[in-house]
Structure 1
């Protein structure tokens, strides 16, 4: 098991955002986490990556307890986050943004290989490499955010709403790239409001409502579930 989240509860002040979450990810999978705004999806990612400390429960990554570890140490172990809203460094160039993703790494040859991998996945970034990230389109900024997360050479990539605010054509392209990243050997936890697209590329899925996991199944089963179709697929 690559990631095991057990009975995880997280609070913001007095407000309980996560209520005993259990979730597992196997190596090589794409797992989709779907739910409406405010359900706790981003909070879960922040707790896994050490940006927020949980009140109870545990997070294990490749059998190592990481619940109380610092965020920077969790990145070193092989978990990387592409955050909601992209959060690129607007005044820095594309290259500088990508370098920020590799800050924990020392091997220049391997870093160079990661640059090549990112440019292969996102040829547009190679064309724009000297441009300030703040001047890029939304789709290009999303490529920078995912590319930056890949620069730490993660075993597990957490994607928070990668299609948010993108034109439909770009959404398809981003999902194709997510599949490609997975085929190249990176395990993925995908948080996405576009539930149909997410489940179409995922192996399994979880549905979160008000801080609790309410459904868990293969992606195929969730796509035909009446509950999911009504609530998340607009049917």
Structure 2
């Protein structure tokens, strides 16, 4: 469904991604784990067209999208919930969600997406007229994911969805990720919480200084001594 082939991405003279090869199949949850600065967010930025690779190719449903502009990437069915939530702070919950559907025109289908989001996140329905900046951190994360879902994506990219949340909210967010996947959504999950990410994922990739160093079945990676030592600690 989505393939990155030998992707090299730079920030000015910094070689951030060094020959990334990544494959996501329809219906999967795939996780990308690694420490700060490993290149996880850069990978998502490259997929979404915010960054252009200097080398390599990105295929989505066998179409080359390497040089496609970000707005057209969204229209094609790839949506990002960014790190740090990045909700529109002065707008209401409803208006944030409405902006997520900016590429769509069918009102009936958009209304169905509102219903889906409110069913997944009842708290957003309760607070739909509330200004986004007044929401709790967990509610803002729900809003960021909900907004990404409003574009009706085939692939949902999640960048550090558990960052800064309390342990109870982390558990809730990961349960919601599984619920979204059960609706038929393919998910690429970028996470520093490697243990939780690998528990919900089908497959995983470990990124280190811009290179994929380990890949495989998520449950096998949970028991891989290299992954345990580097990312799981004594958990």
Q: TM-score normalized by structure 1?
A: 0.99
In structure 2, the partner of 1:128 is 127
Secondary structure of residue in 2 paired with 1:208: strand
Residues 72-118 of structure 1: CA deviation (Å, up to 9, x unaligned): 00000000000000000000000000001000000000000000000
Secondary structure of residue in 1 paired with 2:112: helix
Give aligned pairs, total. Answer: 234
Structure 1 unmatched runs, 5+: none
Shift of 1:144: 0.3
State the superposition RMSD in angstroms. 0.4
The answer as to 2:161 corresponding to 1:189 is: no
In structure 2, the partner of 1:18 is 17
Shift of 1:147: 0.1
Shift of 1:234: 1.1
Alpha-carbon distance between aligned partners in 2 of 1:135 and 1:16, rounded to the nearest angstrom: 39
Question: Which runs of at least 4 in structure 1 moved beyond 6 Å after TM superposition?
Answer: none
The answer as to 2:117 corresponding to 1:118 is: yes
Alpha-carbon distance between aligned partners in 2 of 1:99 and 1:35, rounded to the nearest angstrom: 33
Structural mapping, 1:201-216, within 5 Å: 201-216=200-215
Structure 2 unmatched runs, 5+: none
Shift of 1:133: 0.4
Secondary structure of residue in 2 paired with 1:50: coil
In structure 2, the partner of 1:172 is 171
In structure 1, the partner of 2:28 is 29
Shift of 1:122: 0.2
Alpha-carbon distance between aligned partners in 2 of 1:146 and 1:13, rounded to the nearest angstrom: 30
Structural mapping, 1:42-57, within 5 Å: 42-57=41-56
Secondary structure of residue in 2 paired with 1:124: helix
In structure 1, the partner of 2:230 is 231
In structure 2, the partner of 1:71 is 70
In structure 2, the partner of 1:137 is 136
